[in-house]
Amino acid sequence: MKLTKVLVLVLSLCLMLATFSYAGKDLDAVRGKGFIQTGVNGSVFGFGMPDEKGNWAGLDVDTARAVAAAIFGDASKVKFTPLSAQQRFTALQSGEIDILTRNATQTLSRETQLGLNFVTVNYYDGQGFMISKELGVNSAKDLDGATVCVLPGTTTEQNAADYFRTTKPPCTESAWVWVGTESP
């Protein structure tokens, strides 16, 4: 019985040490500076946005605080960097931020081509078209020639382009417009 307890203790210690050593240089660097630099949207209420006093709130912010609490035992050990859809992956790759908790669709191409490691999905969304009922549009296929605005550099942009390219008959390229800034 005594031998079993000692063996369990030794194995537990080995597993703990292996876990700590696996974390690697990135985690060591974050611990060394004493906070985690997190990329967030910065302009989407309910996800990541500062209030009038500069206090950050939202799902993405809470996710970052949970990571800080896991690393430091203190949810306040986080700094937020607001990023656009175009800036988010470059900031992560360059080391400007340690983690990205803003909206970012997990895709195979982003993992392989950009070398990103998505951890887990924390929110599911999709795309659709909101159209005034007075226009009498019954299907997205009726949108040929209409202006559709999406954010550039997003999967929404790619999905809209794919949809309009594959509709029968295909919609003309003038059917969509890429907007150049983030919208709140």
**For residue range 121-180, what is the model confidence (pLDDT) as tens digits?**
888 888 888 888 888 888 887 777 777 788 777 888 888 888 878 876 556 554 445 444
Domain boundary assignment for the chain: 23-113, 133-178
Q: What is the pTM of this model?
A: 0.67
Centroid of chain to Cα 159: 17
The pLDDT tens digits of the residues spanning 20-66 come to 545 688 899 999 999 999 999 988 889 999 999 999 999 999 999 99
- Classified by CATH at the fold level, domain 23-113 comes out as D-Maltodextrin-Binding Protein; domain 2 (3.40.190)
Encode 98-130: b = buried (16+ Cβ within 10 Å), e = exposed: bbbbbbbeeeeeeeeeeebeeeeeeeeeeeeee
